[in-house]
Amino acid sequence: MLSQNTIDIVKSTAPLLAETGPKLTAHFYDRMFSHHPELKDIFNLTHQDSGRQREALFNAVYGYAANIDNLEVLLPVVEKIAQKHASFSITAEQYAIVGEHLLGTIDELFAPGQAVLDAWAEAYGLLSTVFIDREEAIYQENEAKTGGWRGTREFELVEKKPESDVITSFVFMPTDDQPVATYQPGQYIGIYLKADSFDNQEIRQYSLSGAPNGETYRISVKREDLGTVSSYLHQHLNEGDKVQLAAPSGDFFFRSEATQPVALISAGVGLTPMLAMLESIKDNHQAPIHWLHAAENHRQHAFGSHVAEIANTAEGVSSHVWYREPQGATADFEGFLDLSKLDTAVDWQNTTFYFCGPVGFMQHVAKQLKEKGVSESQMHYECFGPHKVL
């Protein structure tokens, strides 16, 4: 437990942090990487360059300071970050490095005096212990599963299949011929890549895009024009190549009762965790399943025929597709996803909604759901990259 004096001091610094903004975390990352360049093998430098990671860390630091007297409100955020850290194989030693440079940053930017530095050291010590303990529990849980492991494990790419003009699926099988751990539909795996064209090791998390089968993992990746890893996967990773994978992780997964109506809503490559959910529940869910998907056009629409077949053969599954610009191929609807088209088809107050896609799309969906009286407890979503509150 933190002393009241520490709580008061840390909480008093929250307005200063708010005023400083992401400049705080920019200074932190620059400082840490200059002393420990090896950590560039862990952090997503694309998110560093875009500012998304710095903004996410600032929000976390500020949130901790502002709520240090009521840490229970931070538990969902702690779980989300701990799951992500487990996919990066973060260690206790790395928390010590982060703490050193967080305190150094506070000292260099604000020169607040020893009492403030001591209070932040105590507060960070408590927070890091919470994360270290939770992440160790995740490592142990992953290791204890049938087919589970700790750290990374070697897999071979056994199938590479284009699903649309921009999305390709990759199926990986372990090289040790042992089973692979099951996962909750909606979770992701971490892929570790080293290539001559990379300045550093690159680690990414990609949602598993199929139901668990105990033998392989499938991810389906959109090729991004400026995406270092997605471009490498699409252009250079071939069947027979080896990669290192971390065990499945993530706090976004299907958790509804079989009698609960559900809607799986996605845009673009955001359909990947939704597809894992759909494939996992299509044969045993006892309530309606609504599949709602938005794509630019038919050329960018992945798994369209596969989902249509499920909707035609699985009882209780309905599919509704929007094309923003149809370009000659028809969908159920044209333009942006509009939930009013389904007013009579969906029981809004009793359905649980899972959604994934670009942040702007998810904000658009959340706004429509709230206007229909859907509560926040009915809504579950996943951001690809640093988390944002909708």
Half-sphere exposure of 148 toward its Cβ, with a 13 Å CA cutoff? Answer: 14
- Strands 167-174 vs 152-162: parallel, antiparallel or unpaired: antiparallel
* Cβ proximity of 267 and 359 under 8 Å: no
Find out whether 336 is annotated in a ligand binding site.
no
Q: DSSP class of residue 37? A: G
Find out whether 6 is annotated in a ligand binding site.
no
* Cβ proximity of 234 and 221 under 8 Å: yes
Q: In whole angstroms, what is the distance from residue 368 CA to residue 348 CA?
A: 11
Find out whether 386 is annotated in a ligand binding site.
yes
Find out whether 269 is annotated in a ligand binding site.
yes
Per the annotation, the verdict on 217 as an active-site residue is no
Find out whether 268 is annotated in a ligand binding site.
yes
Find out whether 356 is annotated in a ligand binding site.
no
Find out whether 204 is annotated in a ligand binding site.
yes
Helix locations, 236-358, DSSP H: 271-281, 304-313
Assign 247 to helix, strand or coil.
strand
Given 29, 64, 95, 124, which residue is catalytic? 95
Residues 6+ apart with CB under 8 A from 305: none
- Number of Cβ within 10 Å of residue 4's Cβ equals 9
Place of tokens 């033998």: 215
> How long is the chain?
390
Per the annotation, the verdict on 202 as an active-site residue is no
Find out whether 88 is annotated in a ligand binding site.
no
Find out whether 54 is annotated in a ligand binding site.
no
Q: In whole angstroms, what is the distance from residue 63 CA to residue 74 CA?
A: 8
The residues with which 264 forms a beta bridge, in sequence order, are 291, 354
Find out whether 113 is annotated in a ligand binding site.
no
Find out whether 271 is annotated in a ligand binding site.
yes
Find out whether 206 is annotated in a ligand binding site.
yes
Find out whether 278 is annotated in a ligand binding site.
no
Assign 316 to helix, strand or coil.
coil
Find out whether 232 is annotated in a ligand binding site.
no
Given 62, 135, 139, 382, which residue is catalytic? 135
From the number of C-beta atoms within 10 Å of its C-beta (0-12, 13-18, 19+), residue 257 rates as exposed
Q: In whole angstroms, what is the distance from residue 130 CA to residue 122 CA?
A: 13
Annotated binding site: 85, 188, 204-207, 268-273, 383-386
Annotated binding site for FAD: 188, 204-207, 383-386
Give catalytic residues, as residue numbers.
Answer: 95, 135
Annotated binding site for heme b: 85
Annotated binding site for NADP(+): 268-273
